[in-house]
Amino acid sequence: MLRNIPPILSPELLKVLAEMGHGDTIVIGDANFAAASMAKKGILVRCDGLKATDLMDAVLSLMPLDEFVEKPVLIMDKEPRHAELECPVWGEFKDIVAKYDERGAEACGMISRKEFYKKAKKAYAVVATTETEFYACTILQKGCL
């Protein structure tokens, strides 16, 4: 047994986080995200039954964000056709980031779905959750201790 490890982090995900180096990225995808196809050249970790926000909180409790980039947290933005759709999960993501990074919500940036997919295909790992909130997909860039 280990102390201070959030119980929602599986041994597989802990191994991935430990293997990642400075600048590597990890995607946390919602239930609608094409996680398996995005991870074809990387590592897919299934976290069924977990919310993206809970997983982000657990990951960031262990993993520092990259201090050498302006926006080490990228959130998938809405498609124009969903302009009126509310995405309260974005505020939750920003609040979680603010718990662990002195830049607060300023460490978060929004990117288009198309750009998000390009970056996700290059990520070290992709985590599939069963988050049902819309546009609840993020990319975290690992920093140094």
The residue type found at 124 is Y
Task: Indicate if 22 belongs to the active site.
Answer: yes
Task: Indicate if 66 belongs to the active site.
Answer: yes
Task: Indicate if 100 belongs to the active site.
Answer: no
Could you give the maximum distance between any two Cα atoms of the chain, in Å? Answer: 48
Q: What is the distance between the alpha carbons of residues 98 and 81, in angstroms, rounded to a whole number?
A: 30
Return phi, psi of residue 139, to 5°. Answer: -125, 130
Return phi, psi of residue 44, to 5°. Answer: -105, 130
Which tokens in the block code for residue 44? 């897919």
Q: From the candidates 30, 66, 77, 101, which is the catalytic residue?
A: 66
List the catalytic residues: 22, 66, 117
